Structure 1
Amino acid sequence: MRIFHDAMLRARELTLGGKLMEATLAIQQGLGLAHKAERSSADDGPVVDMPHAPVPHGKPVFYSPAADVEDVAFREFVSPEETAGAAEAADTPAPAPVASSFSPGTFESGKHRYPYKVFVPSHPRPGLPVVVMLHGCKQDAADFAAGTAMNAVAEREKFIVVYPEQLRQANSMGCWNWFEPAHQARGEGEPAMIAALASHIASLHRADPARIYIAGLSAGGAMAALAGKLYPEVFAAVGVHSGLAPGAARDVASAFTAMRRGPGKSAALGAIGLPTIIFQGSGDKTVSPANADAIAQEEVASRAREGIHLSSTRSEVPSSEGRESSVVRWTDQAGTAQVEIWTIQSAPHAWAGGDAAGSFTDPKGPNASQAMVRFFMRHSNTNPRGK
């Protein structure tokens, strides 16, 4: 038995080394069959070792090496049980990637296919929040992501960010068409696409449908306000940076007027109706600060009409980078801010606290990305789509 055991160990080593002929001979030696194999080879007879020897059911039959037989590359034998196990493993979803990702995608809405980028933080898990970020004119998704540095905040705080991108055939400057009636009604145009994309991303990544937020800069801020107003079942809170209120304009001419002077008396302003945080530079020469004030006033007034009393507080926020800010918060009876407006002293038309790697950024200002996320995470949708 010891000889057989040693022969089997030797045969295993030879097999793993791809030397199948030597392995076969070692096995035959262990079985006491080597002399028959040698005789068969010398007599130029058949190479089958012992066709009439009793062979246990299911065991392989060994063959003697012949001069015209060559070794083949080793291939590991897999039992039927192991094969079944591998098939079962193949049907099991692969574990989520541990590294963060920033990937492009395309979303079809109506007759158009909108590009977007989505950031997923490392070690993602079900139930993460989603933040939708809408770029301004002359920007795209990648530029806006770089300038706002929102991905860095998302990695630290663990949420998903999606950046829809405007089509140049829809607006040659890359602006969202917040001022056109075709995009100001529920179920139509760009707001419908943005809301559908937000819900799609939340479903795709098993995010929390009650914690989907939207923010934007300039034309993106105006569109964020509009999308929030039209789709309160999708979005839980809104961030408007250097933007305009819903209904501030109905065409190109009134849009330019509102941007320069604020909404006119004939503007049919509408409240967003969701928790809203606003950022505005007092030195903005593109969008008048009067627009930020109009958004805040409309939100507070709409709550009052609903019988919701909000208390206001004002504070000054010094900046180590050189721009001071005044912050007014309107809080409910539970002490949660429902409306918040940041006025940044002498700041231009740019994302506050942004990264110089992107366009339209103001690194000297307070960090709008961090402040918006803190505001967002205090709110969730009580009647979200998808639940």
Structure 2
Amino acid sequence: MRASVQVPPGGSFEQACHTGASGARAYRTYIPASAQDGAAGLIVMLHGCTQTPEDFAIGTGMNTHAEQHRLIVLYPEQSRGANAQTCWNWFSKGDQGRGRGEPEIIAGLTSRAMKQHSIAPAQTFVAGLSAGAAMAVILGYAYPDIFAAVGAHSGLPLGAALDVPSAFSAMAGQTSSCATPPGHAPRTIILHGDRDKTVHPLNGAAIARMAETSAQGTTSQCTRSGEAGGRCYRRALTMDQAGQTLSEHWVIQGLGHAWSGGQPGGSYTDPSGPDASAEMIRFFLETSQKDEPT
């Protein structure tokens, strides 16, 4: 039975299906009451294995944050026909590039929503957890004309695997293989727990390293430490010459394979630590490295 997502008066949580050249997927759309006169942006949220859009919406609390910022949220749903555990197939060679497979489907439903709600690419973002985070990274590189920034929580880098065996090796941190980025890195925020036993923290570091090395122009770096929600964290930033933050890499102490600062009622969440949803939105919307975490 599907979890019930609470929707405030004036808001809606709609269901639809998109069919593209590579297949079809169902998805849910959260339209906040605050966006009745126009939305400020759009976030695509990709769930992890065994999760549903409803479960992911509840656990991340993203709809509550979206209400505050006038953001529409899309929750694509992986089908059991495509993956028995409802994992996005980030490890499949046919699902790792532009114009084919699951990236083509997700990009297509995103473009459809952008047109429907008059949202520009500069205000369109993609984020995910675990397998969803790995697919979000793929989409950021494959569709820079659609997605302005990426949020990867407990995910893996582009090209970390090409089949199921290499996927498990990558998840265990036993391989350092990555793809050559097809272009400049998207702005990326990475969050990973240092006690993640499902996807080794080395993968979060690899996402950050790829974002840093494929950034355009001269960059500078700094590291900051802090505490939020009862957990300490280390946050490494890479900035361009204008001071724009190109990437943030959060390592959260004591966090396992779960959405940091998540909400009870959703799977793979931990209420302790920085609020990952709030930090992703801050990063997506900020224009200067002077902006501090919420």
Per-residue Cα deviation, 1:240-281 (whole angstroms, up to 9, x for no partner): 0000111110000111000001543x5435377110000000
Change (3 A) 1:267 1:328: closer
Of residues 102, 107, 110 in structure 1, which corresponds to 2:18? 107
CA contact (8 A) 1:262 1:289 kept: no
User: Unaligned regions of 5+ residues in structure 1, if any?
Assistant: 1-97, 380-387
Of residues 268, 271, 276 in structure 1, which corresponds to 2:179? 268
More helix by share: 1
Q: Write the letter of the residue equivalent to 1:117.
A: R
Q: Write the letter of the residue equivalent to 2:268.
A: F
In the aligned structure 2, how far is the partner of 1:268 from the partner of 1:146?
33
Of residues 6, 12, 31 in structure 2, which corresponds to 1:120? 31
Do structure 1's residue 335 and structure 2's residue 243 form an aligned pair? yes
Q: Write the letter of the residue equivalent to 2:219.
A: L
Do structure 1's residue 225 and structure 2's residue 137 form an aligned pair? yes
Task: Identify the residue that residue 10 of structure 1 maps to in structure 2.
Answer: none
Per-residue Cα deviation, 1:197-234 (whole angstroms, up to 9, x for no partner): 11111111222332110000000000000011100000
Deviation at 1:185, TM superposition (A): 2.2
Q: Write the letter of the residue equivalent to 2:245.
A: A
Q: Write the letter of the residue equivalent to 2:21.
A: G
Do structure 1's residue 377 and structure 2's residue 289 form an aligned pair? no
Matches within 5 A, 1:1-387: 99-110=10-21, 112-124=23-35, 125-126=37-38, 128-261=40-173, 263-264=175-176, 266-270=177-181, 273-303=185-215, 306=216, 308-319=217-228, 321-378=229-286
CA contact (8 A) 1:114 1:165 kept: yes
Q: Write the letter of the residue equivalent to 1:343.
A: V
In the aligned structure 2, how far is the partner of 1:340 from the partner of 1:277?
5
Change (3 A) 1:262 1:375: farther
Asked which structure has the greater RCO (Cα within 8 Å, sep 6+), the reply is 2
User: Unaligned regions of 5+ residues in structure 2, if any?
Assistant: 1-8, 288-294
Structure ID, larger Rg? 1
In the superposition, the TM-score normalised over structure 1's length comes to 0.69
Task: Identify the residue that residue 62 of structure 1 maps to in structure 2.
Answer: none
> What percent of counterpart residues are identical?
44
Task: Identify the residue that residue 21 of structure 1 maps to in structure 2.
Answer: none
CA contact (8 A) 2:39 2:71 kept: no
In the aligned structure 2, how far is the partner of 1:126 from the partner of 1:262?
46
Deviation at 1:102, TM superposition (A): 1.2
The Cα RMSD (Å) is 1.7
Deviates more, 1:199-208 or 1:130-139: 199-208
CA contact (8 A) 1:127 1:208 kept: no
In the aligned structure 1, how far is the partner of 2:113 from the partner of 2:257?
30
Deviates more, 1:142-151 or 1:178-187: 178-187
CA contact (8 A) 1:126 1:208 kept: no
In the superposition, the TM-score normalised over structure 2's length comes to 0.90
In the aligned structure 2, how far is the partner of 1:116 from the partner of 1:218?
18
CA contact (8 A) 1:248 1:269 kept: no
CA contact (8 A) 1:126 1:207 kept: no
For the residue of structure 1 that corresponds to 2:122, the secondary structure is coil
